[in-house]
A and B are shown apart, each in its own frame.
Chain A
Amino acid sequence: MVALYVGTKKGAWIFRGDGARKKWKLEGPHLLGQLVSHIVADPRDPKSVLMAAKPGHLGPTVYRSVDGGKTFKEAAAPPAFPKGHKQSVKVVFWLTPGHASRPGEWYAGTGPHGIFRSRDGGATWESVDGFNAHPDRVKWFGEGEQGPPDDPNTHSIIVDPRDANHLYAGFSIGGFFESPDGGASWKPLNKGVAADFLPPGEYEYGHDPHCVRISPAKPDRLYQQNHCGMYRLDRPGDAWERIGRNMPKEIGDIGFPIQPHPTDPDTAWVFPMDGTQVWPRTSPGGRPAVYVTRNAGKTWKRQDKGFPKSQAWFTVKRQCFAADAEKNVGLYLGTTSGQIWMSRNEGEKWEPMASHLPPITSLESGPRT
């Protein structure tokens, strides 16, 4: 059974599909009224589901379920900076399950920038001081409230499936960084990435990655949707290639999410949005479309069958584009207008799956149950 975990500005829902993904059972709302930045099921244990949440008036926290998402209990020790740190956690923004060899290990990214680790399935969280107390932190990210309108946040925490200690993380704003030692040390990994909002020049850090995903089929390959374009990086190389240059000029290569294919490393999908002038961040021209590459970014094909043809101004946030692991890969898009769109055939045709939800803040496909 395919499961889809949906976080919104007003709570979370879980969709469970039949084998054909034609009928969906809707569960929820969970934590109605709370901002759910991310809800993620554990691929190592589908009974375990974590949710990063924040009621509008109260401090941020993590909820966890050990019964597959039926009930949720608050973490006993949510992510919090240690004494002496100047900042306090305003939002838990991102959740990543740890390596397959380390059951119960999870990572969380916060706003302001912070990385936290749990070793007990999300019940208690510890500061990853190798990042949170890094001496270059102020140099990398500034000292105050610099950042995007929704506050700076840490996202795209990636654990290399071949090495539990090899981590990546994205920082809006700050750039994309890598740790070879489980978070003890970090270095920027932004060569080749544009930062058009800064004075002309090459920068080691200070970029704005919106979403970075590792190819499950080829973990040496990373795809990045940045504030300034779409990129691919093949390790051990360290220079990103701007594959968005091959997008149609009238569409551009701006957006939030990017989604690699689960088994084909040359295939990835993007959802371009308008990045002109004041950055509307809506479907260009009011005509939503996904673009797919089947050759690692050399060419792109428009996939808009099923989407409205005009006056449809979708915004899809960075955690809101998911793929399942079925044979004909299913794709799922969540919009800030509370709609979920799905495709059962790798983007060839789209149809609305749900409407009238609150603004969608995250959407993740879970392990088969």
Chain B
Amino acid sequence: MTVVHVPSPLFSYTGNRAEVKATGATLAEILNDLDRQFPGFKFRVIDEHDRIRSTILFYIGGRVTRNLLDFVGAADEVHIIAALSGG
């Protein structure tokens, strides 16, 4: 199971949890499992063409990625980062 760190705008899906666990060998598989656990989660961060929304960043094991097919290693943690904005 991979530990996934979730930003506060997504807490309404995770029951206010900042840290959840998901299964998958790639970022795409991790997101699919999160969507299974928390329906609607994936569409908040990925658009209908499987593109990462412009206001979202993913880190795998501390490395930023924009590729959903990147592998997630056994020891890797995933961070989901929502862009900061003012106003």
Measured CB to CB, the residues of A under 8 A from B are 55-59, 61, 74, 76, 78, 80-83, 85, 88-89
Determine whether B75 belongs to the interface, using a CB cutoff of 8 Å to chain A.
no
Contact assessment for A88 and B51 in the assembled complex, using a CB-CB cutoff below 8 Å: yes
Measured CB to CB, the residues of B under 8 A from A are 7, 9-10, 39-40, 43-49, 51, 53, 55-56, 82-83, 85
Q: Which residue of A lies closest to B51 (CB)?
A: A88
Contact assessment for B85 and A57 in the assembled complex, using a CB-CB cutoff below 8 Å: yes
Give the complex CA separation of A76 and B47 in angstroms. 15
State which of A58, A74, A76, A81 has its C-beta within 8 Å of the C-beta of B48: A81
Q: Which residue of A lies closest to B56 (CB)?
A: A57
Contact assessment for B39 and A59 in the assembled complex, using a CB-CB cutoff below 8 Å: no
Q: Which residue of B lies closest to A31 (CB)?
A: B12
State which of A56, A58, A78, A89 has its C-beta within 8 Å of the C-beta of B45: A58
A-B CB proximity, top 3 nearest: A80-B48, A88-B47, A57-B82
Give the complex CA separation of A310 and B84 in angstroms. 38
Q: Which of B7, B53, B83 has the most CB of A within 10 A?
A: B53
Q: Which of B7, B46, B49 has the most CB of A within 10 A?
A: B49
Contact assessment for B47 and A59 in the assembled complex, using a CB-CB cutoff below 8 Å: yes
Residues of B within 8 A of A88 (CB): 47-49, 51
Overall SS of chain A's interface: loop
Contact assessment for B82 and A61 in the assembled complex, using a CB-CB cutoff below 8 Å: no
Residues of A within 8 A of B85 (CB): 56-57
A29 CB to closest chain B CB (Å) equals 14
Residues of A within 8 A of B83 (CB): 57
Residues of B within 8 A of A80 (CB): 43, 47-48
Residues of B within 8 A of A57 (CB): 7, 9, 53, 55-56, 82-83, 85
Residues of A within 8 A of B55 (CB): 56-58
A-B contact pairs, 21 of them (CB 8 A): A57-B7, A57-B9, A57-B83, A58-B10, A58-B56, A59-B43, A59-B45, A61-B40, A61-B43, A76-B40, A78-B43, A80-B43, A80-B47, A81-B48, A81-B49, A83-B48, A85-B48, A88-B47, A88-B48, A88-B51, A89-B47
Q: Which residue of B lies closest to A73 (CB)?
A: B40
Q: Which of A56, A59, A78 has the most CB of B within 10 A?
A: A59
Residues of B within 8 A of A83 (CB): 48-49
Give the complex CA separation of A58 and B83 in angstroms. 9
Give the complex CA separation of A85 and B47 in angstroms. 12
B71 CB to closest chain A CB (Å) equals 25
Give the complex CA separation of A156 and B85 in angstroms. 30
A176 CB to closest chain B CB (Å) equals 27
Give the complex CA separation of A127 and B74 in angstroms. 40
Give the complex CA separation of A61 and B44 in angstroms. 8
Residues of A within 8 A of B10 (CB): 58
Residues of B within 8 A of A59 (CB): 43-47, 53
State which of B7, B9, B39, B48 has its C-beta within 8 Å of the C-beta of A89: B48
Give the complex CA separation of A78 and B43 in angstroms. 9
Given A74-B40, A76-B39, CB of A58 within 8 Å of CB of B47: no
Residues of A within 8 A of B39 (CB): 76
Give the complex CA separation of A56 and B53 in angstroms. 11
Contact assessment for B82 and A58 in the assembled complex, using a CB-CB cutoff below 8 Å: yes
Give the complex CA separation of A85 and B85 in angstroms. 29
Residues of A within 8 A of B9 (CB): 55-58
Q: Which of B10, B47, B82 has the most CB of A within 10 A?
A: B47
A90 CB to closest chain B CB (Å) equals 9
Residues of A within 8 A of B49 (CB): 81, 83, 85, 88
Give the complex CA separation of A81 and B51 in angstroms. 13
Q: Which of A55, A58, A80 has the most CB of B within 10 A?
A: A58
Task: Beyond A58-B82, A59-B47, list 20 extra A-B contacts (CB 8 Å).
Answer: A55-B44, A56-B85, A57-B7, A57-B9, A57-B53, A57-B55, A57-B83, A58-B10, A58-B45, A58-B55, A59-B44, A61-B43, A74-B40, A76-B39, A80-B47, A81-B48, A85-B49, A88-B47, A88-B49, A89-B48
Q: Which residue of A lies closest to B86 (CB)?
A: A56
Contact assessment for A58 and B44 in the assembled complex, using a CB-CB cutoff below 8 Å: yes
